[in-house]
Amino acid sequence: MRLSTTSLFASLSLAAFAAGASPAMAEVAEAHDDHFITKAEAVVDADRKATWLALISPARWWSGEHTWSADAANLRLTPQAGGCFCETIPETETADGGFTLEGSVEHMRVIQAYPEVALRMTGALGPLQSEPVTGILTVAISEAEEGPEGEPRTRIVWEYNVGGKMRYPVPVISQAVDGVMTLQLVGLAEHLGAVELPERGATPEDADPEEVSEGEGEGAEMADEPLEGASDTELEADIDSGTSAEPSVDEAFGDLSGDAG
């Protein structure tokens, strides 16, 4: 039997909802040598249309600490296939009275925009931008149980699936990425009126306990404040010289600090 487009997207949304419907949670759902998946969910005190409109306006809720310009107001998202989730690097005045040139960053590119149902983008965020990996962020929107006075509420399921060769130990970098992604979902939920915020869940069973333990601590710190560390050039130099093929989380997330160039 052939499904209509509406039925197909409704089925996809319900599947995403069912996969993470219990208490709101944030976790590294899967981690292996060549890929990892982070997942988080929240319930907000808003209908699906308001949730969608907020989702496609990241300048209102994305953490400025996790931008290149240190200001979320420079973010923009075009919600259509091929549209850009991009950031403007504004010109700034220099010490000699001149100005730097304006720049830009493409964080992700939209591959599916289905209003009030799902937003899917592809892109390697933050330090992953320097790695030959593919990242797919899927944000599914569905109706949640109504509030006590019958007001509409919406569940947001937020999944980031990253695969490919990377220079960071997966059990550590996955926890750090999970911290940043959870921070962004919390920002969106609080902007809309949070009913259930994501709570940290269990780590994957196949991850090394010692490495994961180290990663949880550093990931939690990273979610609260920007980290400074080695630049992409320094990391590449280390790899070329053979001195370090596994940068720390601090180094991995150095390009998300306010000092990033």
SS (H, E, C) the chain: CCCCHHHHHHHHHHHHHHHCCCCCEEEEEEEECCEEEEEEEEEECCCHHHHHHHHCCHHHCCCHHHCCCCCHHHEEECCCCCCEEEEEECCCECCCCCECCCEEEEEEEEEEEECCCEEEEECCCHHHHHCCEEEEEEEEEEECCCCCCCCCCEEEEEEEEEEECCCCCHHHHHHHHHHHHHHHHHHHHHHHCEEECCEECCCCCCCCHHHHHHHHHHHHHHHHCCCCCCCHHHHHHHHHHCCCCCCCHHHHCHHHCCCCC
Residue showing tokens 């949730």: 51
Q: Would you say residue 4 lies in a domain?
A: no
- The answer, yes or no, to whether residue 212 has pLDDT greater than 90, is no
Instruction: Say what the pLDDT of residue 245 is.
Output: 44
Q: Would you say residue 1 lies in a domain?
A: no
- Tell me what the mean pLDDT of segment 57-68 comes to: 95
Give the type of residue at 102.
E
Chain mean pLDDT for the chain: 77
Lowest mean pLDDT among 16-20, 150-154, 218-222: 218-222
Q: Would you say residue 83 lies in a domain?
A: yes
Lowest mean pLDDT among 57-66, 193-202, 203-212: 203-212
Task: Read off the pTM.
Answer: 0.71
* CATH code for the domain in which residue 31 is found: 3.30.530.20
- Tell me what the mean pLDDT of segment 33-58 comes to: 97
Residue 211 structural domain: 10-88+101-256
- The answer, yes or no, to whether residue 87 has pLDDT greater than 70, is yes
How sure is the predictor about 200, in pLDDT bands with cuts at 50, 70 and 90? low
- The answer, yes or no, to whether residue 246 has pLDDT greater than 60, is no
Q: Would you say residue 168 lies in a domain?
A: yes
How sure is the predictor about 233, in pLDDT bands with cuts at 50, 70 and 90? very low
Q: Would you say residue 3 lies in a domain?
A: no
Q: Would you say residue 94 lies in a domain?
A: no
Q: Would you say residue 23 lies in a domain?
A: yes
Q: Would you say residue 183 lies in a domain?
A: yes
- Tell me what the mean pLDDT of segment 158-182 comes to: 95
- The answer, yes or no, to whether residue 99 has pLDDT greater than 60, is yes
> Total structural domains in the chain?
1
